[in-house]
């Protein structure tokens, strides 16, 4: 059965013209509207809302952190979305130079430049310990355009000593207090094509890595197994318990297109939209019933290009994970080669030339949410109170994926739910706010297939494959959000407010005191 990684490797990235056709199909969806009424009580809390989606975001391999556009995009993503750390592949690839000269002859010049930049701009490294330096590799098993070696080491001691030297260098450069706030994750997706060894050999890799990191200082945080499809969590916990090995968190990945038989033991158990929350719930249960029931759960990869899917997934994962790291913040992404086309289906909140994507705006809306949830009836709504006493409410119109069975059984068309041209109706959302007396205005910001995206502007240009510099400037401007719209609130108790959301659109509603 094909999985996400194999599928992308076999087909390559979807080109810009195909993406534009899908977006145009979404724009021609039926004009009819559905209607839903939701009640929000501004005076009644429903719990806390830690911003677990902000603790980390993914990136391509570590070396791209030397590029100017990546750095500009990182600054913007941190500013707009609040991401606190960045997770990259390929820290030990030869292009980083750390162990290119072999055992004991380490070179940290590039990693210093990248980590210095991150920390200077308020972002911490999330350290993924991968892949294998060619000097240590036991085979020529390599992946992706950048040829990361995924074989076990010829000699375990060489891997241990490199990880130890790297960790010691980080502590000496940045201080123990800083590095103690980082996470060290052992490898990436060792249960699929990212590891040429066995599970037993991965466990030895975990053991050597943990001993190396903890030998520098026991307060440093190490975890794994960083698996695809939520695999190996009980196995690694049992191994660590049996070996008396430390583990500070468990990490794993889930995509809505993952084969459900691999995750849940049966195909078609859940809709495409429910795979992530139900999968994370499963992992939380596995941890809570294990020998280490209090381990934090880190979902270090998940993704969707659809802003409504992002909002819905975050709401449905509240309380299930310590963090959920979106893959990726940037389209400077070369697993399958150099990105083709200024608009492509590759990962990233920010596209080529720094052009914002709807996903960036979705996370910017989430960043503006408060940390106290307010009581609301069932529906596509997340209501919060901010520390200054103001109210922020996120609403959306998620269109269910019509081909969820095909996706759910491991044949993904794209990582972005809704990106395959699912048609749907506008949603007229009627909100009834209790406790809003005296508030007369509401500030409305929206993201949909016409707002917060540069694609309509690109279409009007005739879909140039290589836009000229002045066109790029126009596209960059077209992708930005307009100023929020000020709307009047109806008087009375409850206070009523209505908004119409296009298919897969979202809106941020901000009420002042």
DSSP 254-287: --TTS-HHHHHSSTTSS-GGGHHHHHHHHHHHHH
At residue 78's C-alpha, the angle toward residues 109 and 373, to 5°, is: 140
What is the sign of the dihedral through the CA atoms of 89, 93, 95 and 98? positive
For 50-370, the fitting CATH number among 3.40.225.10, 3.40.710.10, 3.20.20.80, 3.20.20.70 is 3.20.20.80
Q: What are the DSSP calls for 186-231, one per residue?
A: E-S-TTTTT-SS-HHHHHHHHHHHHHHHHHH-TTSEEEEEEEGGG-
As to burial, measured by CB atoms within 10 angstroms (0-12 exposed, 13-18 middle, 19+ buried), residue 334 is middle
pLDDT of residue 438: 72
At residue 324's C-alpha, the angle toward residues 253 and 98, to 5°, is: 70
The reply to whether 50-370 shares the fold of 4-46+373-511 is no
pLDDT in tens, the chain (513 residues): 334 444 333 333 333 333 333 333 333 334 466 899 999 999 999 999 999 999 999 999 999 999 999 999 999 999 999 999 999 999 999 999 999 888 889 999 999 999 999 999 999 999 999 999 999 999 998 998 889 899 999 999 999 999 999 999 999 999 999 999 999 999 999 999 899 999 999 999 999 999 999 999 999 999 999 999 999 999 999 999 999 999 999 999 999 999 999 999 999 899 999 999 999 999 999 999 999 999 999 999 999 999 999 999 999 999 999 999 999 999 998 888 898 888 888 899 999 999 999 999 999 999 999 999 999 999 999 999 999 999 999 999 999 987 665 555 544 334 443 444 457 899 999 999 998 877 778 999 999 999 999 999 999 999 999 999 999 999 999 999 999 999 988 777 888 899 999 999 999 999 976
pTM over 0.85? The answer is yes
pLDDT of residue 20: 38
DSSP-H helix ranges across 30-188: 68-81, 109-120, 156-174, 176-179
Conformation bin of residue 354: beta by default, left when phi > 0, alpha when psi is -120 to 50: left
> Taking a C-beta distance cutoff of 8 angstroms, is the pair 209, 184 a contact?
yes
Between strands 323-326 and 297-302, the pairing is: parallel
pLDDT of residue 410: 47
CA distance 267 to 405: 8
pLDDT of residue 86: 98
Number of Cβ within a 10 Å radius of residue 262? 18
pLDDT of residue 18: 35
Which residue ranges make up each domain of the chain? Answer: 4-46+373-511, 50-370
CA distance 322 to 223: 13
What are the residues whose beta carbons fall under 8 Å from the beta carbon of 439, sequence distance 6 or more?
433, 489, 495, 511, 512, 513
What are the residues whose beta carbons fall under 8 Å from the beta carbon of 393, sequence distance 6 or more?
40, 381, 382, 383, 384, 431, 508, 509, 510, 511
Which of the 8 DSSP states describes residue 71?
A: H
Q: How far is CA 228 from CA 60, 214, 249, 255, 322, in A?
A: 16, 26, 16, 9, 18
Look up the CATH architecture of domain 4-46+373-511: Sandwich (2.60)
Which of the 8 DSSP states describes residue 82?
A: -
CA distance 131 to 139: 13
pLDDT of residue 402: 77
């Amino acid at each position: 059965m094909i999985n996400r990684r194999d599928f992308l490797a076999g087909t390559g990235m979807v080109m810009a013209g195909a993406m534009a056709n899908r977006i145009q199909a979404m724009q021609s969806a039926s004009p009819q509207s559905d209607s839903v009424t939701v009640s929000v009580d501004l005076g009644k809390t429903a719990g806390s809302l830690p911003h677990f989606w902000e603790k980390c975001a993914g990136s391509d391999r570590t070396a791209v952190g030397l590029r100017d556009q990546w750095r500009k995009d990182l600054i913007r993503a941190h500013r707009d979305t609040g991401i606190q750390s960045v997770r990259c592949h390929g820290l030990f690839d030869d292009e980083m130079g750390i162990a290119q000269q072999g055992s004991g002859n380490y070179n940290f010049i590039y990693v210093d430049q990248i980590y210095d930049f991150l920390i200077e701009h308020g972002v911490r490294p999330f350290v993924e310990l991968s892949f294998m330096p060619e000097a240590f590799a036991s085979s020529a098993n390599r992946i992706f355009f950048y040829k990361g070696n995924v074989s076990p080491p010829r000699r375990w001691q060489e891997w241990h000593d490199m990880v130890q030297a790297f960790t010691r260098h980080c502590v000496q450069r940045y201080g123990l207090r800083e590095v103690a706030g980082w996470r060290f994750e052992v490898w990436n997706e060792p249960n699929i094509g990212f590891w040429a060894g066995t599970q037993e050999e991965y466990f030895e890799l975990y053991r050597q890595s943990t001993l190396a990191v903890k030998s520098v200082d026991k307060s440093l945080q190490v975890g794994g197994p960083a698996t695809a499809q939520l695999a190996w969590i009980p196995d690694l916990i049992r191994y660590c318990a049996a070996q008396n090995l430390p583990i500070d968190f468990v990490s794993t990945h889930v995509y809505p297109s993952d084969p459900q038989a691999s995750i849940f033991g049966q195909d078609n158990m859940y809709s495409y939209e429910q795979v992530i929350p139900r999968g994370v719930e499963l992992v939380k249960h596995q941890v809570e019933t294990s020998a280490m029931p209090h381990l934090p759960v880190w979902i270090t990869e998940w993704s969707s290009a659809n802003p409504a899917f992002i909002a819905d997934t975050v709401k449905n994962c509240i309380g299930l994970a310590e963090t959920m790291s979106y893959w990726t913040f940037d389209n400077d992404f070369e697993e399958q080669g150099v990105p083709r086309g200024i608009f492509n289906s590759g990962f990233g909140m920010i596209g080529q030339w720094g052009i914002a994507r709807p996903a960036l705006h979705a996370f910017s809306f989430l960043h503006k949410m408060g940390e106290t949830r307010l009581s609301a009836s069932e529906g596509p709504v997340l209501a919060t109170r901010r520390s200054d006493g103001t109210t922020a409410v996120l609403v959306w119109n998620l269109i269910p994926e019509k081909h969820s069975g095909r996706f759910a059984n491991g044949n993904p068309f794209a990582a972005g739910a809704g990106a395959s041209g699912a048609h749907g109706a506008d949603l007229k959302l009627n909100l009834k706010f209790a406790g809003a007396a005296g508030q007369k205005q509401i500030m409305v910001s929206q993201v949909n297939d016409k707002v917060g995206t540069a694609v309509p502007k690109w279409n009007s240009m005739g879909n140039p494959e290589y836009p000229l510099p002045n066109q790029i400037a126009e596209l960059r401007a077209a992708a930005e959000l307009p100023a929020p719209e000020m709307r009047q609130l109806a008087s009375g108790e409850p206070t009523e407010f209505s908004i119409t959301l296009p298919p897969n659109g979202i809106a941020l509603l901000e009420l002042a005191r």
